[in-house]
Structure 1
């Protein structure tokens, strides 16, 4: 296994495209971006979808739940498959097969067909797990946190870039003569075709490890054949540290998804902003993925260098507490500019927490990186589901009470009372979620590594720096 370690990239030089790890980084980050772009691509068009298909508010909400539900199961499965077959084949098939429901969404005629497409489209959310596995296999311990965080952050941009990208695609389609009412359908078909094409790129231009593909290496004897894949998965399931990280990722990525999905309405109801203005603020929040996740992985690597594996955990715990405090503080602010300041700090800290989480994951069990990444990644979607349900029920109850209290006072009065009630309910929800995140940060301190693990990590770190090229190379 020494050969495998020494062949990993020890520097995160993004301009070195001749390097297999760096080339893989760019391709896997782009694939992840396209998957998230297609996964959330329908969001900008939901008013059109609801109108065209005659969907009820309940069916609209169910489409959101189903998209997240599909991802949970896909992430659990794909990590196990990565350990067995390698990330290259897993990503190829995910992109090719995942493109099908995206394309079919452009042809749906009923709410049921749309819901089924959303369920299966959610499977491409498992792309995150493969991205983390692939960069973990390509980069050495001194930079693996930075590589994981950056690839994930840049891939996550796809979930925000579609707010601009999909309407642009729709405008181009309309420019070529398509009916405006059909533009959302053509846009999703194009997004699916892009994913399918990326699957072909992944197959022909990447490999599983710096030395080659799993299958070829197993045949030559350079790596042992994986005959106990199920045992590795079960071992991951039994490791309490994996479940702490599951909760941790639910408390950072899951909360980011929920806040991102509810912030538009919250800003409008609380500060009386126009929808476009609120949307632009939320979009800027998402665009912080360009650098914020990377900072989390970078600091994780820095603390790992100075304080060992325990240092990575200490930083993760710290940044989670900061995230929780920022969200709880934001929930009680009624001044717009101060609220935006705390929202920026929350955005920075939550994305750094995501990066810090996957600076710890590769060191839990190197024989089951895929399985562990899948379990932890699924935690993010579980967290998003639970947080969304909390806010939904609190808001729904408050709005019903407001409508009942203002019955007979006129439509404007009812809408105003409903907006105030929704704002107050979501504010209380954010406060509760923030306190839960702070508690999670304390729980994260329970992640422990043995003396042997620390020793191995120090030796790998020493070897990484020993193999690193000179700074001016």
Structure 2
């Protein structure tokens, strides 16, 4: 009789697909990729959408803001649901239900319908929280930071890969006889169908923990919360450290989203780049998620081994401060070569800061990992909303002023004045945001851990052994 009970993986051996932790890692990363692919799938087609639906500039900006607003509420809710029902069921239903607005986005006929779809499509951004919760449940403390950062980073690639993938899908359907003007609609429908199918894969090929699903463990007489007693949501909200991490993630992932969404126009207006060139630079920025976020989690784990939980916080504070400095410096550059260098450095540091954040999150409250992940994850979208609103306000005001001051000039001179005004406004916005990020970087140092928390970071295998012994007893008696 084989009495071996699966436990959390202590390594990230990506080729060991027989290991339930590794298998779950791959499925959750791919699911997250598809969610981000569909979430931002409409971005490459916005010129077509504006033309087909007659969107005004305000409606276009509002669609961007709505897409990140819906995610805030979804992330706050999904973390608590993960603690109660487990990440497997939560991800399954998120993928299946989230596919509906993605498909409907390809069928809209009015600006209002489009805005509503963008709002509800944003809900699939909650996939990030489930990804982090599921990875935290599958991997041991010594590797959890690296695993969390890698799964999230590879999932984030979906937000960049759609710049290539969605036009390719559109080209493919055109080859089958679909009109060019309708191709973006078919691409969104296909992306939604793939999300739906991933929901089925998630249900049948993953489980909540290495030991089994929440429901099965509870029915077997093993309280899944034996190593983590129930904690009320209000008790989680009262932990100041969670709100500091909320701000940290707003200053990292939130700013990445905003910079990613505004950088195309900024590069064109500031350095007079062609749209294709600017788009390729931004795409390379997104593709750095392949390794940059992983580096943040990796160094978080390394500093954790050297200095304990305090070491994780120290690295997080450092890399977030570097991120702010890089953004401030980039905002001041007038040379495309120097600007590109600092943009890459900003990209590297912001994604490392995201990985470092979730090398700290699993240790804040092991009794409510889902709730903590949900709150911190929501911070990213709050940051994106506020930063986008700031840049929109500054840019819109500057452009209106430029139009008034150059009234009567030729169309070419008027457009040049608008571009210059927008560039200066966004540059000032980036600088202000960079300084705020630096302040939050120093604020992160206020995160403290008790001596008991520090001890749990090292020998937490004892708690896993307790659960394993209980499972072993049931297996022997059955």
TM bracket (short chain): over 0.9
Distance 1:324 1:109, change over 3 A: same
Q: Deviations over 1:207-234 (max 9, x none)?
A: 00000000000111222469x9984322
5 Å-filtered alignment, 1:43-54, equals 43-54=43-54
In structure 2, the residue matched to 1:215 is: 215
1:90 shift after superposition: 0.1
> 2:10·2:142 contact (CA, 8 Å) conserved in 1?
yes
> 1:29·1:154 contact (CA, 8 Å) conserved in 2?
yes
> 1:4·1:210 contact (CA, 8 Å) conserved in 2?
no
Q: When the two structures are superposed, what TM-score results if normalisation uses the length of structure 2? A: 0.94
> 1:83·1:229 contact (CA, 8 Å) conserved in 2?
no
1:461 shift after superposition: 7.4
User: 2-side partners of 1:387 and 1:145: how far apart?
Assistant: 27
User: 2-side partners of 1:456 and 1:46: how far apart?
Assistant: 49
In structure 1, the residue matched to 2:114 is: 114
5 Å-filtered alignment, 1:385-464, equals 385-460=385-460
In structure 2, the residue matched to 1:32 is: 32
1:66 shift after superposition: 1.3
- Counting matched residue pairs gives 461
In structure 1, the residue matched to 2:289 is: 289
In structure 1, the residue matched to 2:280 is: 280
> 1:76·1:371 contact (CA, 8 Å) conserved in 2?
yes
CA RMSD between the two structures? 1.8
Where 1:13 maps in the other structure, the secondary structure is: coil
In structure 2, the residue matched to 1:343 is: 343
In structure 1, the residue matched to 2:203 is: 203
User: 2-side partners of 1:229 and 1:333: how far apart?
Assistant: 52
In structure 2, the residue matched to 1:469 is: none
In structure 2, the residue matched to 1:20 is: 20
In structure 2, the residue matched to 1:467 is: none
In structure 1, the residue matched to 2:164 is: 164
5 Å-filtered alignment, 1:236-385, equals 236-385=236-385
Q: When the two structures are superposed, what TM-score results if normalisation uses the length of structure 1? A: 0.95
User: 2-side partners of 1:157 and 1:203: how far apart?
Assistant: 23
User: 2-side partners of 1:398 and 1:207: how far apart?
Assistant: 53
User: 1-side partners of 2:408 and 2:224: how far apart?
Assistant: 74
Q: Deviations over 1:49-84 (max 9, x none)?
A: 111112211111111111111100000000000000
In structure 1, the residue matched to 2:101 is: 101
1:235 shift after superposition: 1.5
In structure 2, the residue matched to 1:59 is: 59
In structure 1, the residue matched to 2:92 is: 92
Which sits farther off after the overlay, 454-463 or 127-136?
454-463
Distance 1:338 1:153, change over 3 A: same
Q: Deviations over 1:292-325 (max 9, x none)?
A: 0000000000000110000000000000010000
Distance 1:221 1:457, change over 3 A: same
Which sits farther off after the overlay, 4-13 or 111-120?
4-13
User: 1-side partners of 2:23 and 2:276: how far apart?
Assistant: 38
Structure 1 residues without counterparts, runs of 5 or longer: 465-473
Distance 1:366 1:50, change over 3 A: same
1:8 shift after superposition: 0.2
Which sits farther off after the overlay, 183-192 or 45-54?
45-54
User: 2-side partners of 1:174 and 1:111: how far apart?
Assistant: 24
Where 2:458 maps in the other structure, the secondary structure is: helix
1:455 shift after superposition: 1.4
Which sits farther off after the overlay, 228-237 or 313-322?
228-237
User: 2-side partners of 1:458 and 1:62: how far apart?
Assistant: 47
Where 1:17 maps in the other structure, the secondary structure is: coil
> 1:95·1:199 contact (CA, 8 Å) conserved in 2?
yes
Q: Deviations over 1:222-257 (max 9, x none)?
A: 22469x998432211110000000000000000000
> 2:231·2:368 contact (CA, 8 Å) conserved in 1?
no
User: 1-side partners of 2:85 and 2:462: how far apart?
Assistant: 30
Where 1:74 maps in the other structure, the secondary structure is: helix
